[in-house]
Chain A
Amino acid sequence: MSDNLFTPIDASLDTSYDFSRPSTSYWQDVWRRLKKNKLALAGLFIIILVAIIAILGPFFTAYSYSDQDLKIANQSPSLAHWFGTDNLGRDLLTRVLYGARISLSIGIVASISTMVIGVLYGGIAGLAGGRIDDLMMRLIDIMWSIPWLLYVILLMVVMQPGLTNIFIALALVYWMPMARIVRGQILSLRELEYVMAARLAGAGSWRIIIKHLIPNSLGPILITATLTIPDAIFSEAFLSYIGLGVSAPMASWGVLASEGATSLRSYPFQLFFPAIAICITMLSFNFLGDGLRDALDPKMRK
């Protein structure tokens, strides 16, 4: 379909047809549909629970994350230490609780920043198409090809260790797959009839992106965003290897799990507890993500 067959209606005319429904009922609608999805609700519930435990939990244990007792190092789970103890005799349960704070915030911040940057970038590239799209995609190719480790080491040298650094290091890479996915979606969506129709009706680019293209690409966007969370949590463990992570003795889930993986043969419980914590959280995020996808999807509305 070539563009010059049609001429846009004068946008000043008040006859412009609004293809979207009023937004007031939209979110109520989403919530109504989300409530019907049991798994998603369970996911949401567990996430809130984990967040509460992460915030308040450490106040209720008898130990601190750094209290050592070398005599009881590497003990299996017991009544005194539900999750057992680590190589310096620290209570593993307490360390997992503290680790939740770090890892949850890393996961959430990483996936939100990924979403914002990636959706904008990919959206613009896909919609603009042609030369701009080409240029923007080549830029991703370039950034993706330069070894991440190199700029992470540089970042470590320039800055002090801490959470901000990790956020930057993670945001530097994770937006790229998201941008690619969004751009691919937009490329295929923008040719669809209803987008054409909206455009013909005089809707501006931004309006098309926000009202039509993004809601219709929400599936892959949410999937990629929820994928980013576990990835970010474990990348943090790698970053702490370079020296970018939170300083010992504080430890994130990723660090606890990767240290547990090396002692798997001798003290399997040191891997299982942090790994189970991560898995449960991830399952919840994914169920919620799937539920949200279904709830937000305009085509699922009745």
Chain B
Amino acid sequence: MSFKKFLSLLIAITLTGAFLTGCTSTGNKDSSDKPVRFGQLGEPETLDPRKATGQPEGQFLLQMYEGLTAYDADNNAVPAAAEKWEVSADGLTYTFHIRQNAKWSNGDQVTAQDFEYAWKTLLSPEIASRYAEMLFYLKNGEAYNSGKVKAEAVGVKAVDPNTLEVTLEAPTPYFPQLTACYSYFPVHKKTVENNADRTANPETIISNGPFKLTAWSHNEKAEFVKNENYWDAGKVKAKKLEFSIVESNTTRVSLFENDQIDLTLDPPPSDVERLIKEKKAEITPHLGTYYYSFEVEKAPFNNPKVRKALTLAIDRSAIVKEVTKAKQIPAGAFVPLGIPDAAKGSDFRNIGGDYFKDNDIETAKKLLAEAGYPDGKGLPPITLTYNTHEGHKAIAEALQEMWKKNLGVQVELTNQEWKVFLKTCAAGDFQIARDGWSADFPDPMTFLSLFVSNNGNNHAHWKNAQFDQLVSQAKTTTAPASRVKIMHEAEALLMEEMPVLPIYFYTMTYMIKPNVKGFVHTVTDYIYFKEAYVE
């Protein structure tokens, strides 16, 4: 769950697989009286859009607030609080025109000043937002956050109450999509300015989205009601949303099967198969890769042949089919399915193809022998480290057995508590470690830039000058075709060197009652309840 980065959130939908569940038909009037009951994954850390960092916050804020843009049922970024916008020829300046009838929940007009205030305070060093990086796209965003320039220098300005002018650091063609993310949401300047605590509690929050938060009992439940002042209130069907805040995945299954909630996600692996068989769950794509990192600075994994041998000697299809069971896709490369290639409608993964064969024991044995360890003889003891989780454990055990059977390689398993594990990975204090990455946005770059020499998330500590050069080349190339071609080259190089061992591309399991209609869920596991209702 922890990979969820919301940037991926809405951008991902436009281009990939978010979809509308059920029919969008007009539900009858009575049905909207039933509240939509959702099993929320965790307690939000805050409800201030400027301080929010993850899935639990996003799930709340998306119902309560609305950005300049939003997504429609066909997954296009469409005007929301802004009715239209223009881009300058150099792609650096955006002018957003805010809707006349965009209203806060107290009836006030939503103004450009509200946006300017929210964005600038988010970037201020005093607020110390954990997600400040999200607004580094703005001109001087990063400089202001590190205290180098004053707030006035930041590239956002309210020209008049209805016009917001945004200047960017570099051309960013997907900037309108970004403004649909919660870090770009406005706050009600008039009240928040004098008292920042007003964003904390349902009694004082003034929001501009389809729903108002009316009650929030911490670590337990929350209630939302329809915001009658919302400009598009006519489309909002449910009068009420009820969120149960449930951290334990087994408890979420209990609540769902006991009819205490109507939909939720991420059941424990042991229940997935049964839930699908009983038609209580659906599987949807999720933009991310499950893999292992080799610590390449130490023997024997400083030898690419050893890394490749271990990578090839795994039966991914069996793991996906018999162990994880949620229809994950066996990975033959690093960048997952679902990211567009240069040509319209084509997929980066399908164009790039697989870089190695699954379960290729022959080649694996040969490579291991070439590396000087025929049949695993002479290999120093190997330890595989994972963070404690029943799913990770099962995969680690399966790999251990496959390596033993296929290559004669003995591997010990070690599990660690989450934050200890993060330290271990960062310090390179391991040989093979579980790893994973979910999309920042649906572009191969979010996956490939991980392995640049100085990237803090490059747990393999793999350094390759040619790779670094390809990545920076791709970043400065604007022509889509040649940019994508360079990224294919970079991935080929990565797979040639194999500092990581890809296992599968993620999916997400949703538990949904058949009578829940009209909601939208995304490849990054966010759900929009704007038009949802229970039949």
**A binding-site residues for B, Cβ under 8 Å:** 66-68, 70-71, 73-74, 87-89, 153, 156-157, 161, 240-243, 247-249, 259, 261-263, 265-267
Contacts and interface: CB of A to CB of B under 8 A. Distances in A.
B463 to A, nearest CB: 28
A71 B322 CA distance: 7
Interface string B288-319: 00000000000000000000000000000010
B535 interface: no
A259 B413 contact: no
Contacts of B318: 70
B198 to A, nearest CB: 35
B133 interface: no
B388 A241 contact: yes
A161 B401 contact: no
Contacts of A265: 250, 253-254, 257, 271, 274
17 contacts: A68-B398, A70-B318, A70-B323, A88-B323, A88-B397, A240-B415, A241-B417, A242-B388, A247-B413, A247-B414, A248-B415, A262-B250, A265-B250, A265-B271, A266-B271, A266-B273, A267-B270
The 7 closest A-B pairs by CB, nearest first: A263-B270, A70-B322, A266-B274, A243-B416, A68-B401, A248-B413, A243-B415
Contact of A248 (B268, B269, B396): B396
Given A88-B397, A242-B388, A248-B397, A156 B417 contact: yes
A9 to B, nearest CB: 61
B369 to A, nearest CB: 25
A153 B417 contact: yes
A156 B416 contact: yes
A150 to B, nearest CB: 11
Contacts of B257: 265
Which of A67, A161, A240, A247 gathers most chain B CB within 10 Å? A247
A88 B398 contact: yes
A234 B271 CA distance: 23
B394 interface: yes
B485 interface: no
Interface string B410-436: 001111110010000000000000000
Nearest to A250: B413
B393 A248 contact: yes
B45 interface: no
Nearest to B383: A247
Given A70-B322, A265-B257, A247 B412 contact: yes
B400 interface: yes
Contact of A259 (B273, B322, B390, B401): B390
Nearest to B391: A87
A73 B401 CA distance: 14
Given A262-B268, A265-B257, A266-B270, 10 more contacts: A70-B322, A70-B323, A71-B322, A240-B388, A243-B415, A248-B413, A259-B390, A265-B253, A265-B274, A267-B270
B412 A88 contact: no
B414 A243 contact: yes
Contacts of A66: 397, 400-401
Interface in B254-290: 254, 257, 268-271, 273-274
A89 B402 CA distance: 14
Interface in B99-146: none
Contact of A242 (B269, B273, B396, B417): B417
Nearest to B387: A243
Interface of B: 250, 253-254, 257, 268-271, 273-274, 318, 321-323, 388, 390, 393-394, 396-398, 400-401, 412-417, 420
A62 B384 CA distance: 28
A262 B388 CA distance: 14
A142 to B, nearest CB: 24
A156 B274 contact: no
A161 B396 CA distance: 17
A137 B204 CA distance: 49
Nearest to B417: A242
B420 A153 contact: yes
A259 B271 CA distance: 12
B323 A87 contact: yes
A263 B250 CA distance: 8
A161 B416 CA distance: 10
Contacts of A248: 393, 396-397, 413, 415
A88 B274 CA distance: 16
Given A70-B398, A73-B323, A249 B413 contact: yes
B257 to A, nearest CB: 7
B324 to A, nearest CB: 10
A263 B271 contact: yes
A72 to B, nearest CB: 9
A239 B250 CA distance: 20
A149 B239 CA distance: 44
A156 B419 CA distance: 13
A65 B528 CA distance: 46
A87 to B, nearest CB: 6
A127 B497 CA distance: 70
Contacts of B417: 153, 156, 241-243
Which of B253, B393, B412 gathers most chain A CB within 10 Å? B393
A88 B398 CA distance: 7
A156 to B, nearest CB: 7
A57 B174 CA distance: 64
Contacts of A74: 270, 273
Contacts of A156: 416-417, 420
A157 B397 contact: no
Contacts of A153: 417, 420
A67 B401 CA distance: 8
Which of B269, B321, B322 gathers most chain A CB within 10 Å? B322
Nearest to A264: B250
A240 B420 CA distance: 14
Contacts of B250: 261-262, 265
Contacts of B268: 262-263
Contacts of A71: 322
Contacts of B415: 240, 243, 247-248
Which of B254, B318, B415 gathers most chain A CB within 10 Å? B415
A88 B315 CA distance: 14
A182 B25 CA distance: 72
Nearest to A161: B414
Contacts of B254: 265
Contacts of B401: 66-68, 88, 249
A289 B273 CA distance: 44
A153 B419 CA distance: 10
Contacts of A88: 323, 394, 397-398, 401
A243 B421 CA distance: 10
B487 to A, nearest CB: 35
A248 B270 CA distance: 18
Nearest to A90: B397
Nearest to A243: B416
B322 A249 contact: no
A190 B369 CA distance: 75
Nearest to A160: B414
Contacts of B274: 265-266
B270 to A, nearest CB: 3
A248 B401 CA distance: 11
A74 B274 CA distance: 11
A259 B392 CA distance: 13
Nearest to A68: B401
A261 B268 CA distance: 11
Contacts of A262: 250, 268, 270, 390
